[in-house]
Amino acid sequence: MSSGSPLTQDQSRAIRLMGLPFAYALALLAIPLGAVLLFSFWTQDFMTVDTTFTLDNYREVAESPIYGLLLRRSLMVSGLVTLVTVVLAYPVAYFVSFHVAPSKKSLWLFLITIPFWTSYLIRVFLWKVILGYNGVINSGLTQLGLIDEPLTFILYNVNAVIITLAHAFAPFAILPIFVVLEKIDRSLLEASRDLGETKVSTFFWVTLPLSMPGVVGAALIVFIPTIGDYVTPELMGGAGGKLIANMIQTQFLQLNNAPLGAALAIVAMVCVAGISILFVLLNRRWLRRQT
């Protein structure tokens, strides 16, 4: 299809139909994002916004150690959550794709997705109940006489944040991997066995490389949104477990410093996008070297 050729009736009809959702996303996503970018170059003093162009916000983000610390911690937490989630999710996706009867597959997927759709806030809070000082684990273990003092390393710190987020994003990781595993031509695996590979080597040489696009998709779909979560660190993180999203939220809603908040949001987004692109590229190169 050359770009210069006139559109067919069907094409112009499709474009007209797509126009509405596209216009909506443009108006409520692209333009607002542009506004955020613009704001990050302005300053605000309580309610009055000074629209002279300045890099002050970015300078402050770069110079104040707190922002760098929060950003590094956020990226570290998101990275760990991604790693834990994907590693835990892969065997489940593999199991459902390869070992569950076709008629039962949607039931399994449904069971996996249900917790994901149920009140996020309450789920996060429940982890507090589970991991808390008087929580299910501590009170349970004390009852059983296994511990005298409640365990403290599992609440109000980064560990708790990671556990909770890993739980919250689990289905997000399973589905993309599952979809890719489903698409793998089963005769490829038989061919590999036929050519003398063992089950294990077939997995590492055929199944895993072929499912890498799903793994990458899963990693991104977990990594990117976790950066934006302020609920879990707020409830679970305590003082030492706060993340960049909490700072953005504070700047906007409590300190009324939208421009600084905007600059933080832009920096966080650029970091996430950069890491994501790097990750995709590295993975591509690794896959190419494999073949």
What gap in Å lies between CA 89 and CA 166, rounded to an integer? 10
Which is nearer to another protein, 17 or 66 (by Cβ)? 17
What gap in Å lies between CA 84 and CA 138, rounded to an integer? 23
Which is nearer to another protein, 204 or 290 (by Cβ)? 204
Residue 36 engages another protein in binding (rule: CB under 8 A): yes
* Binding region for another protein (CB under 8 A) out of 64-72, 184-192, 193-201, 264-272: 264-272
Residue 20 engages another protein in binding (rule: CB under 8 A): yes
CB of 39 to another protein, least distance (A): 5
* Binding region for another protein (CB under 8 A) out of 59-67, 151-159, 224-232, 277-285: 224-232
What gap in Å lies between CA 289 and CA 266, rounded to an integer? 34
Which is nearer to another protein, 195 or 239 (by Cβ)? 239
Which of the residues 63 through 122 are near another protein (CB under 8 A)? Answer: 88, 91-92, 94-96, 99, 105-106, 108-115, 117-122
- Find the binder of another protein among 231, 236, 260, 267 (CB under 8 A): 231
- Find the binder of another protein among 191, 253, 277, 278 (CB under 8 A): 253
Distance linking the first and last C-alpha atoms of the chain: 31
Largest CA distance in the chain: 78
Contacting residues for 79 by C-beta, under 8 A, at least 6 apart: 223
Cβ–Cβ under 8 Å, residues 36 and 265: yes
Would you give the DSSP letter of residue 254? T
Tokens representing residue 93 in the block: 């996706």
What dihedral angle (degrees, nearest 10) is formed by the CA atoms of 7, 12, 18, 22? 60
Residue 218 engages another protein in binding (rule: CB under 8 A): no
Cβ–Cβ under 8 Å, residues 41 and 57: yes
Tokens representing residue 222 in the block: 């977990």
Which is nearer to another protein, 146 or 195 (by Cβ)? 146
Residue 249 engages another protein in binding (rule: CB under 8 A): yes
* Binding region for another protein (CB under 8 A) out of 33-41, 61-69, 189-197, 203-211: 33-41
Which of the residues 176 through 215 are near another protein (CB under 8 A)? Answer: 176, 178-179, 182
